[in-house]
Amino acid sequence: MNCIYCNNKKLYELKSGQLKCSACKKKFSPQKIKRDFELIECFCKSMTANQSADYLGINYLTVKTRFELFRGLIANFLEDAYQGKDVLEYDEYIYLNQSKKKVKENIFDAQNFLTFHYEDKIYNMLMPNLNRYKNEFLDSGAQEAHFKEFSKFMMLNKISKTQKRENLITKFWIFFEQEILKYKGIRDKNFFYYLKEIEFKFNNSQEDQILILKSFLYKYL
């Protein structure tokens, strides 16, 4: 195998079982690389951390930590891929878990993001969460008026520049709603990374996802 850091072909095998690159002098374990690549395949096949841990016989926390790393690296990769691209169209999306939609106060828990179409791909920008304003609205003594006006604003004041109703953006939203159901209890602070994971999977075939993740996993570390 080539060096995972610089792709140099000349490696030395150490007594510890690790390999050392003759060029960049970095050391790595072939077994660890094999495990990481197996986890990448599980991740790209949308297997949960529990399923992957059982399948590979690995500790759950190890898998969970690695999946979190993958999502962070994917977010960086997508930011780099989007830079300098021309946007064809964009639209705003407001996501609220189905179980929360019946209680009007939960409107403050909605996730709001802008979806951009560039080339043949999708890019998403997460907007500030409105939850921080929830107590202020509830304590104001005029909740009904606030909810009515706020709901009207959310319905009528969408930022939009799309050429037709059915497009790559709406296809992504449908894909997003299907994929997000696989994850239970996502914390607000982690939503961005799951959004980026779904964006990555929408933009790339499963085979390409695996190849891309394998190619840049150690580049960003």
pLDDT tens string for the chain (221 positions)?
Answer: 788 888 889 998 998 889 999 998 988 888 888 999 999 999 999 999 999 999 999 999 999 999 999 999 999 999 999 999 999 999 989 888 776 666 666 677 788 899 999 999 999 999 887 666 666 666 655 556 556 655 655 554 455 555 567 789 999 999 999 999 888 778 888 999 999 999 999 999 999 999 999 988 877 65
Count CB neighbours of 114 within 10 A: 16
Between the two ends of the chain, the Cα-to-Cα distance in Å is 19
- Residue 149: the pLDDT is 55
What token pair was written down for 214? 């394998």
Q: What is the DSSP letter of 42?
A: H
**Would you say 91 and 165 are in contact if contact means Cβ atoms under 8 Å apart?**
no
What token pair was written down for 45? 């096949």
Tokens 């296809």: give the residue.
171
Look up the pTM and report it: 0.81
